[in-house]
Amino acid sequence: MLTAGLYVRIALLGFLVGGLPRLGCNSQQPPPAGPMALPEVAVFRVSSEPVPLSTELPGRTSPYLEAEVRPQVSGIIQSRRFDEGADVRAGDVLYQIDPAPYQAAYDRAKAALAVAEANVPAVRARAERYQSALASRAVSQQDCDEATAALEQAKATVALRKAEVESARIDLSYTPVSAPISGRIGKSNITVGALVTAHQPAPLATIHQLDPIYVDVKQSFAELLRLKRSVEAGKLSAGGDNQRQVHLLLDDGSPYPREGMLQFRDVKVDPSTGSFSLRIVFPNPDRLLLPGMYVRAIIQTGVAEHAILVPQQGVSRSPKGEAVALIVGSDNQVQQRMITVDREIGDKCLVSSGLAPGDELIVEGIQKVRPGALVKKVPFENGRKQGTPPGTPSQPAGQSN
């Protein structure tokens, strides 16, 4: 007879043995591991194109014409006839100097001229009588010569008095101080009732012609030599008439709405800076540009006929600061290239060496891959992967897709 404990153990063993097949049927085996998916990168196909090149130079504005108003005669200022900061025209009366002493001097000179002219007929008649009497020896040769000399002296006195009249007239005409040029006048440095002197060093006021206006910039002579060598080597071609057209950026970075024209390059180099001056003329009908403003001029230096432009996000830097790019070879294998970046133009880099037309530059997914890795490439166009809906922002350089 079996004991109760033995019976219990036999029953438990049978339950476990009977349940094993059921557990085995319900168990699932893990799927076998498949091949790893290749990382996807967006590539930009490199091509060459003509690109106009420009340089940005700092400078300052200066008036097209500038005139300091000074008195040409001395006297008391009776009135001021302009508003400070207003536009004036050439010939407008700005100040009136007391004309009374100059009017008196003019009248006195005219009277002296009249006296001299009145004396001439009598002296001339005497000289003519002596000349007639000399033929009959009624007078001596000396008396005749003295009469002739008196006539010439009278004529000279008339000429002298005429010159004095003209001098007095000119002085009188200078009592109204007129604007020498058209433009905008600044503040007045003198008040009514003040005494001014002829040709004094301090100007009464200053007039600036602001339309058009000059922009004076400095360019490095070494940069000019580099550009000339590039043209001679065929890397750069002259821009023709467009090379004289200049754009302007204001102090806050906003563009000036009108184009300027390069007028001339200075003929000498500043020995302290190694640069020379460029002068540009800009139309300024709205008076937006004022003398002394800081601006930046964008001057076209030429056209690179076979330039290579690539998106900036496809260019990275090595720990040494060298420009590096990753390209996808014909075997879909990543290759690293050391490149030379000449400059940045907008959101692109101008590459002077290291890339050739037809290369496929990785611009997205750079952090996913390393040189030598196999990748799956997707075309990249217009700042986004091909097939990405318009309006979808492209991923910044260095982030994964």
pLDDT tens digit sequence for 166-212: 999 999 999 999 999 999 999 999 999 999 999 899 999 999 999 99
pLDDT of 389 > 50? The answer is: no
86 plus 192 within the same structural domain: yes
Return the CATH number at 377.
2.40.420.20
pLDDT of 388 > 90? The answer is: no
Quote the pLDDT of residue 390.
Answer: 35
Give CA separation, 10 vs 4, 18, 23, 129, 372, in Å.
10, 12, 21, 184, 66
- Conformational region of residue 354, where left means phi above 0, alpha means psi within -120 to 50, and beta covers everything else: left
292 plus 338 within the same structural domain: no
| Distance (Å, whole) CA 223 – CA 219 | 7
281 located within any domain: yes
| Strand 40-45 versus strand 376-381 pairing type | parallel
CB 209 within 8 A of CB 51: no
**pLDDT band per the 50, 70, 90 thresholds, residue 242:** low
pLDDT digit string, tens, across residues 215-230: 998 887 676 666 666 6
Quote the pLDDT of residue 384.
Answer: 47
pLDDT of 331 > 50? The answer is: yes
30 located within any domain: no
Across the range 362-380, mean pLDDT stands at: 86
337 located within any domain: yes
Give residue 144's domain range. 99-173
| Distance (Å, whole) CA 320 – CA 121 | 103
pLDDT of 121 > 70? The answer is: yes
Across the range 245-262, mean pLDDT stands at: 89
225 plus 269 within the same structural domain: yes
Quote the pLDDT of residue 20.
Answer: 45
Phi, psi of 306 (to 5 degrees): -125, 55
226 plus 237 within the same structural domain: yes
179 plus 87 within the same structural domain: yes
Across the range 22-34, mean pLDDT stands at: 47
265 located within any domain: yes
Strand partners, 43: 362, 379
Higher pLDDT: 355 or 221? It is 355
214 plus 197 within the same structural domain: no
- Chain-centre distance for alpha carbon 135: 85
Number of structural domains the chain divides into: 4
Higher pLDDT: 188 or 400? It is 188
230 located within any domain: yes
| Distance (Å, whole) CA 251 – CA 317 | 31
| pLDDT > 70 fraction of the chain, expressed in percent and rounded | 80
Across the range 270-277, mean pLDDT stands at: 79
Quote the pLDDT of residue 22.
Answer: 46
Quote the pLDDT of residue 234.
Answer: 56
pLDDT of 15 > 60? The answer is: no
**Strand, coil or helix: what is 142?**
helix
**pLDDT band per the 50, 70, 90 thresholds, residue 400:** very low
Return the CATH number at 185.
2.40.50.100
Lowest model confidence (mean pLDDT) among 261-270, 279-288, 305-314: 261-270
152 plus 272 within the same structural domain: no
229 located within any domain: yes
271 plus 225 within the same structural domain: yes
CB 357 within 8 A of CB 46: yes
pLDDT of 21 > 50? The answer is: no
**pLDDT band per the 50, 70, 90 thresholds, residue 3:** very low
| Distance (Å, whole) CA 61 – CA 211 | 12
CB 281 within 8 A of CB 261: yes
| Distance (Å, whole) CA 398 – CA 207 | 57
pLDDT of 397 > 90? The answer is: no
Counting Cβ atoms within 10 Å, is residue 83 exposed (0-12), middle (13-18) or buried (19+)?
exposed
369 plus 380 within the same structural domain: yes
Across the range 64-83, mean pLDDT stands at: 94
What's the pTM value of the predicted model, to 2 decimals?
A: 0.64
Quote the pLDDT of residue 67.
Answer: 94
322 located within any domain: yes
For residue 234, what are the contacts with CB-CB under 8 A and spacing of at least 6? none
